Amino acid sequence: MLSFGPERIKATAERLLDSLFPRRCPVCQRTTASGTSLCSACYNALPHNLSACRQCALPLADDAMHGNLCGRCIRKQPFYDYAASLFRYEGEVISLVHQLKFSQKIGHSRPLGELLCKLYGQQVFPQYGHPDCLLPVPLHPLRLRWRGYNQSTEIVRVLAKRHELLIEQEAVIRQRKTVSQTGLDASARQKNMRSAFGLAGKLGYRHVLIIDDVVTTGATVNELARLLKRNGVQQVGVMSIARAPIK
């Protein structure tokens, strides 16, 4: 029997309100011209990830040549083949993501999802084509039950519908409940994620695009990509709303 805790009920209510009232820009709260996205002023003011590593999307110095590899990817390449992120994880972007994840602002998933479509159309599809499936980073069942939704699944719905792409939600599971990654350094995050994911069925895909809200050190998506590559997936990409710079 499914359980409907207060967090799930709150998320359902947020979806209902979303459908009844005009969409507002989640940053300035003004009604948007399209009714579905960030207003142009707020969008332009956000920290776009324009100069980034072509392999892991790590933000680079503003004067770095677009398409360069970062030092970490030169020393040791990740298991995924490419990555793209909309924004640097700072300022108002942190607030938007935190509201989506921790304050039940599920309505933020639609404007963020539309921006993800723009990123996909400009950077991902022209270079790599359509993937066989979109794979939102799985949550552990206990966390999913508490939150009521997977934020990565919610932000990718617009993209999946617009391009008729499959959202894979069953083949890969979070088999181990990891501690929160917040506050952990890169090495600790890597150890924390080791063997966190497993397969619940066969993978018949050649090209998988992992979807995450924020890529911090890359430990989570790299562990997921490692599992995919070891089980026959030939090409793995990562796409996210934001990418954290190295501090």
Overall average pLDDT of the 100-116 stretch: 88
Task: Give the DSSP per-residue string, 206-226.
Answer: SEEEEEEEEESSSHHHHHHHH
Q: Is the model's pLDDT at 96 over the cut of 80? A: yes
Mean of per-residue pLDDT scores for the chain: 86
135-188 tens-digit pLDDT: 999 998 888 888 889 999 999 999 999 999 999 999 999 887 765 656 566 666
Q: In this predicted structure, what is the pLDDT of residue 246?
A: 80
* 242's tokens: 């934001």
Q: Go through 52-68 and write b for each residue having 16 or more CB atoms within 10 A of its CB, e for each that does not.
A: bbbbbbbbbeeeeeeee
Q: What digits encode the pLDDT tens for the residues 19-44?
A: 666 677 888 888 776 545 788 889 99
Q: Show me where the domains of the chain are located.
A: 18-243
Which helix (H) or strand (E) element contains residue 199?
A: strand 197-199
Indicate the pLDDT class of residue 1, thresholds 50, 70 and 90. Answer: very low
For 26, half-sphere exposure in the C-beta direction (CA atoms, 13 angstrom radius) is 25
Contact status, residue 87 vs residue 48, Cβ threshold 8 Å: yes
**Can you list the positions of beta strands (E) in 69-188?**
82-88, 133-136, 172-174
> Looking up tokens 């298991």, which residue turns up?
79
Tokens of 39: 């207003």
- Indicate if the pLDDT at residue 131 is higher than 60: yes
pLDDT at 9: 66
- How far apart are the C-alpha atoms of 65 and 171, rounded to whole Å? 38
Pair 212, 183: CB distance under 8 Å = no
- CA angle centred on 87, ends 161 and 8, rounded to 5°: 55
For 52-92, write each residue's pLDDT tens digit: 999 999 999 876 655 589 999 999 999 999 999 999 999 99
pTM comes to: 0.85
**If you ran DSSP here, which 8-state letter would residue 201 be given?**
S
Judge contact between 153 and 17, C-beta under 8 A.
Answer: no
The first and second tokens of residue 59, run together, are 């933000």
Query: Nearest to residue 102, comparing CAs of 214, 220, 7?
Result: 7
